[in-house]
A and B are shown apart, each in its own frame.
Chain A
Amino acid sequence: MFRTLSLQTKENIFQQILAGSAFFVVAVLFLFFLTLLLKSLSAIWSNGFNFFSGTVWDPLTGAYGAFPLLFGTLLTSVLALLLALPFALSSALFLGEFFRKGLIASALRSSVELLAGIPSVVYGFWALLVLVPLIRRIEITLGIVPFGVGVLAAALVLTIMIIPYAASLSAEVIKLVPQDIREAAYSLGATRYEVIRRVILPQARSGICAGILLALGRALGETMAVTMVIGNANKIPASLFDVGNTMASLIANELAEATDPLYVSSLVQVGLLLFLISALINLTGRYVVKKFSVES
């Protein structure tokens, strides 16, 4: 049947399919937002500003203050990002600049990519069995309350989870830096460190930023691994060793059995907030990427 169609028509059909798919993605995103907004309207109305400023989340008394969760989410994610950055950047440079070919390089690259593919519940399980007792031992040595679980445990497991995201994208971008620029720098007598510092990193800056933001997005939304080790206490953690909670973890914990309409609506509102924060970070990311990219 397709054979009888003219080349032009085929081309048109192809284009229509592409446009349709692209539109579909946008529509899904918009509908997501709309659903979250509509379902949380009653909570937005009834919680008011207390949702953002309130420090008590207690469905029993109908207090839905999400500040501790917002704080916990941002704290664990940013902390994880700061911890992951040196490792991610180092391995990106190693894979993108030093060992681009060969057996070791491909083994390393596969390992990093494999790290990204491990299900988060496995990370959580590992953290609960290995990381948490380790942290508890440190806490006992330091004479702090030995929870073991808490913000630090969550941030550490997130760190390991997001390294591959930041690293593999950055490595690709570093590889893409044109060879002639490198050679030009070398010919001017630059050392390898100087080439990396002054030529490669500035060139790859926007791509590295994109990798970091991707990693941050992943950290913000991570649910399973975090909920297993953060202690799930809906309060503002007093220190890195204290227990806390995040927005994603709260939703996963409480939505299944939430029956009161306002309760459900408030949980959706938490989801909406998470959605908006992710969107905000993405938009900031785009702006940063544009600003930093060398071409412009």
Chain B
Amino acid sequence: MNNKLKLGLLTILLGALGFADLLGAGATFPQPLYSKMFAVYEQQKGVKVNYQGIGSGGGIQQLTEKVIDFGGTDAYMTDKEIAATGAKIVHIPTCIGAVVIAYNIPGNPDLKLTPALVAKIFNGEINKWSDPQIAAVNPGLKLNGDIFVVHRSDSSGTTSIFTDYLSQIDPANWKMSKTFSTKSKLAVGGKGNSGVAGLIKQMPGAIGYTEIAYANQNQMKYAVVQNSSGVFITPSLESTSAAADVEIAADTRASIVNTKARDGYPICGFSWLVAYQDLSKNPAKARETTDLLKWIIADGQAFTRELDYGRLPQSVAAKALANINSIKVN
């Protein structure tokens, strides 16, 4: 019996025993935020929400099998995945995650990277810190030694955002994927954000990608990255929110990497909650679900800052609200 199935059974069991009013499962990336939000929500509204971080794939699978009320995913559901559910699905963006390029260079200098540099460093084309292409972008910075590429060894939404970005800036060499594969000869995979952060911190000359929260908690230096408007952007929660403030599809199934926003940080993505559009079979529960979703995109956004997630810009929250309102509750 695989883990997903076991967790599925567990969630059903917990639900059946009445431990939770609403059940969700999926992406682990926004889990700290959801835990906080749902705890506060229970205090304020008395509705208990149980969310299991089992990975985006598992969340979509359980939504398809209809064992949960909503799923969580870091990559929007593909048309094929939606078709597999046999019904209409609504996507509700809940927060924005930023992926930073953290590095370990003796002396902790600031580092600026252009999209071309990012693509070339991560596929091993540039493998020395002394490469003139790095010096050209960072005048006055004298670096040396090998470049070690540190990546996630486990499949993850973080990798998916990062490879989404790479595939936008260098489509010939990169493809979006949940697992990272590189031609670099000096690549090391770490398990989880903490594994990647640990390896970068230990290895002089290492560069890798990790969620902004982990980089901040570990006091790691991360690169300033040039966005599509040519502006060098320091990763921050503000520049992450700014990245999402662009024209996106009404169903919010959109990638915001390599954003057109002038002050937006280019490596970030939404995390979504997904639910069935037709919940009319159980009006009481449908009402609870839509109330929760509405709260998340409004009052719940207050908790994004303390937990290092980007807040939804007004334009996106408006679209999210329209999607929630499209849910059939009776």
Chain A interfacial positions (CB closer than 8 Å to B): 58-60, 128-129, 132-133, 136, 145-149, 227-228, 231-234, 243, 245, 249, 252-259
From A233, A256, A257, residue with most partner B Cβ within 10 Å? A257
> Residues of A contacting B156 with CB < 8 Å?
257
**A237 CB to nearest B CB, Å:** 12
Is B189 in contact with A231, judged by CB distance below 8 angstroms? Answer: yes
Residues of B within 8 A of A227 (CB): 153, 191
Measured between alpha carbons, how far is A34 from B51 in the docked complex, in Å? 33
- Tell me how far the C-beta of A234 lies from the nearest C-beta in chain B, rounded to whole angstroms: 8
> Is B179 a contact of A232 with CB atoms below 8 Å?
no
A243-B155 CB under 8 A given contacts A136-B202, A256-B58: no
For the complex of A and B, the 6 pairs showing the least CB-CB separation, nearest first, are A232-B189, A232-B153, A257-B155, A253-B154, A256-B55, A257-B57
Which residues on B sit within 8 Å (CB–CB) of A257? 55-57, 154-156, 178-179
Of the candidate stretches B85-93, B111-119, B180-188, B275-283, the one touching chain A is B180-188
Which residues on the B side are within 8 Å of A129 (C-beta)? 198
Q: What are 27 A-B contacts with C-beta separation under 8 Å?
A: A58-B181, A60-B175, A60-B177, A60-B179, A128-B195, A129-B198, A136-B202, A145-B186, A147-B188, A149-B199, A228-B191, A232-B188, A232-B190, A234-B181, A243-B189, A249-B153, A252-B154, A253-B153, A253-B154, A255-B2, A256-B3, A256-B54, A256-B55, A256-B154, A257-B154, A257-B155, A259-B60
User: Are A132 and B191 in contact, with the CB atoms below 8 A?
Assistant: no
Closest CB-CB distance, B105 to chain A, in whole Å? 15
The smallest C-beta distance from B264 to any residue of chain A, in angstroms, reads 27
| CA distance in complex: A227, B81 (Å) | 31
Which B residues lie within 8 Å of A258 (CB)?
57, 155
Query: Which residue in chain B gives the minimum CB-CB distance to A133?
Result: B202
Smallest beta-carbon distance B62→chain A, Å: 13
- Give the A-binding residues of B (Cβ under 8 A): 2-3, 54-58, 60, 81, 146, 148, 153-156, 175, 177-179, 181, 186-191, 195, 198-199, 202-203
Give the docked Cα–Cα distance between A227 and B190 (Å): 8
Smallest Cβ distance from A139 to chain B, in angstroms? 11
Report if A231-B154 is in contact (Cβ < 8 Å); known contacts: A60-B175, A254-B179, A256-B55.
no
Q: Is the CB of B191 within 8 A of A253?
A: yes
Within the complex, what minimum Cβ distance (angstroms) separates A152 from chain B?
A: 14
Decide: A243 near B191, CB < 8 A? Known: A59-B179, A60-B181, A148-B203: no
In the complex, the number of residue pairs spanning A and B with C-beta atoms less than 8 Å apart equals: 78
Q: Of all chain A residues, which has the CB nearest B155?
A: A257
Chain A residues within an 8 Å CB radius of B154: 252-254, 256-257
Q: Which residues of B contact A132 (CB under 8 A)?
A: 202
Query: Max chain B CB contacts within 10 Å: which of A232, A243, A252?
Result: A232
Q: Which residue of A lies closest to B176 (CB)?
A: A60
Asked if residues B195 and A228 are in contact (CB atoms below 8 Å), the reply is yes
Q: Is the CB of A145 within 8 A of B202?
A: no
A133–B202 alpha-carbon span in the complex (Å) = 7
> Is there an interface contact between A233 and B188, defined as CB atoms closer than 8 Å?
yes
Q: Please give the distance in Å from A270's CB to the nearest CB on chain B.
A: 14
Q: Give every chain B residue within 8 A of A147 (Cβ-Cβ).
A: 148, 186, 188, 203
When A133-B202, A145-B146, A148-B203 are in contact, do A259 and B57 touch as well, CB less than 8 Å? yes
Partner of A233, one of B3, B56, B81, B187: B187
Q: Identify which of B2, B148, B156, B191 gathers the most chain A CB atoms within 10 Å of its CB.
A: B191
Q: Which chain B residues border A146 with CB–CB below 8 Å?
A: 203
In addition to A147-B203, A256-B54, 8 A-B residue pairs with Cβ atoms within 8 Å of each other are A60-B177, A145-B146, A148-B203, A232-B190, A233-B187, A233-B188, A253-B153, A256-B154
